[in-house]
Amino acid sequence: MHPIFGRVVAEWSSPSQQISSPAPFLYCVHLNGSDDLTLRVVATDFQSNTFQVIRSRHQLEDLRDDIGIGGSWSEFIDYITTSLKSGDVKLVLDGVSELGGASQAKLICQKAKGMPRILLALCKLVNGAASEEMAILSLELYNGFKDTECSLAEVVNAETRCHEFMEKGSKYHLQKALATEQMQKTTDRIKALSSQIEDFMLEFRESFVSPTMTFPKFDGSEALAWLARENQYFLINKTPLDTRVDVAISAISGPAIPWLQLLLMRCSSLSWDKFAQELLRRFGDSEGWKPKSVAEKNADLQKQLSMTFYSGKHKSQKINDRKDQGSSSAIVSAESPDKKTASDTNARKGTNRVVPAYRRSKVRGAILNDTEDDA
């Protein structure tokens, strides 16, 4: 525990014993240890009066009983410490010493007015003992001063750091405020630019005349044509799928209204495809509108391929038939009476033609030979 220092002006117990004017005293209180607690008090004027008292724990317990302070031991020590630190501390001198000054002294302290007082009787120290205690007191006083100086320096440093932190905080808040202001300006500028862009886009859209189309009415006739015009209307006006049925319902009139009422009672929710299919089933060809499945699409593709294959095969068959027809016509033409008459005429022309002499003998010989063979 750190020593407790204090300054007090001594008083004499009786005016008749006063041999000099009251002088200021400096006192120092030590509390050493926790189990074997000892209390040591030194008071001196650094001249001819130096007093000391040492109390052990047992003596302090007797003092506690004499004073009549209850509570725990630590509370009693806190009471003593608080009393010595308070401003209500007195040093009373008594008696006259042969070496000069008072022979004894009493240190009286009180925590607060009306509370028990603590009285400690001090003995006088002379010669070397007094000088030693004054030196110890001076050294402890110096150490206490240094400790206080260090503590003060730490406090100053802490305050300096606190001010620096506050300055940094102020700079941070200032920068934050500036950043917020800049961000607000940027946001306002973006909003202004967005407004300008929207105005420009509006003018740009208004500069073009969008195509319009009158919504067709349906009275139950020409269902497929009406659906085609309806789809064209939806495409031009960019009607969403989820609102097409509502738009189409508003166009139903005449004989188609009872059918529409029955359809709405039968189907709580209608898609556009379902509505068109039901309309065609009632007023037109529903197969023309029914979406084809994958199997149907594959069947159509197979049908197209078969038709293509059949067309090619049919063309090659026609070519072959034409060739056969040409050859047969040639044979028929050769066997026709006209062709036969022409061939006979040519044969007769050949018989009337003059045969050379060298061939005649050969022919005759051949004829003769043939005649012999026949005979």
Measured CA to CA, the distance from residue 47 to residue 100 in angstroms comes to 10
* 3-state secondary structure at position 161: helix
Query: For position 367, what pLDDT does the model report?
Result: 44
Cβ pair 132, 42 in contact under 8 A = no
Query: For position 194, what pLDDT does the model report?
Result: 85
Query: For position 270, what pLDDT does the model report?
Result: 84
Measured CA to CA, the distance from residue 237 to residue 284 in angstroms comes to 26
> pLDDT by residue (tens digit) across 53-91?
888 888 888 888 888 877 788 888 888 888 888 778 888
Q: Residue 303 CA to chain centroid, in angstroms? A: 57
**Terminal alpha carbon distance of the chain:** 180
Q: Given CA atoms 4, 78, 116, 62 in this order, what sign does their dihedral have?
A: negative
Measured CA to CA, the distance from residue 268 to residue 257 in angstroms comes to 17
Cβ pair 136, 144 in contact under 8 A = no
Query: For position 209, what pLDDT does the model report?
Result: 45
Which strands form 104-110's sheet, in the order they lie side by side?
A: 4-9, 24-32, 38-44, 50-55, 117-124, 104-110, 89-94, 11-12
Map out the domains of the chain with their CATH numbers: 4-125 (2.170.210.20), 223-288 (no CATH)
The angle formed by the CA atoms of residues 180, 183 and 187, to the nearest 5 degrees, is 135
Structure tokens at 104: 């004894």
Cβ pair 38, 55 in contact under 8 A = yes
User: How high is the mean pLDDT in each 10-residue block of the chain (375 residues)?
Assistant: 81 73 81 70 85 86 82 82 82 80 84 83 85 84 83 83 80 85 89 84 61 75 88 86 88 87 85 89 62 59 64 62 60 49 49 51 44 42
Measured CA to CA, the distance from residue 8 to residue 6 in angstroms comes to 7
Closest by CA to 282, choosing from 216, 221, 233, 232, is: 221
* 3-state secondary structure at position 252: strand
φ, ψ dihedrals at 185, nearest 5°: -65, -40
Query: For position 66, what pLDDT does the model report?
Result: 83
DSSP 352: T
User: What is the number of other CB atoms lying within 10 angstroms of the CB of residue 248?
Assistant: 24
Structure tokens at 56: 């052990």
Q: Residue 125 CA to chain centroid, in angstroms? A: 80
Q: What is the pTM of this model?
A: 0.40
| DSSP assignments along 190-246, one per residue | HHHHHHHHHHHHHHHHHTS-----PPPPBSSS-HHHHHHHHHHHHHHHT--HHHHHH
* 3-state secondary structure at position 285: coil
Measured CA to CA, the distance from residue 239 to residue 244 in angstroms comes to 6
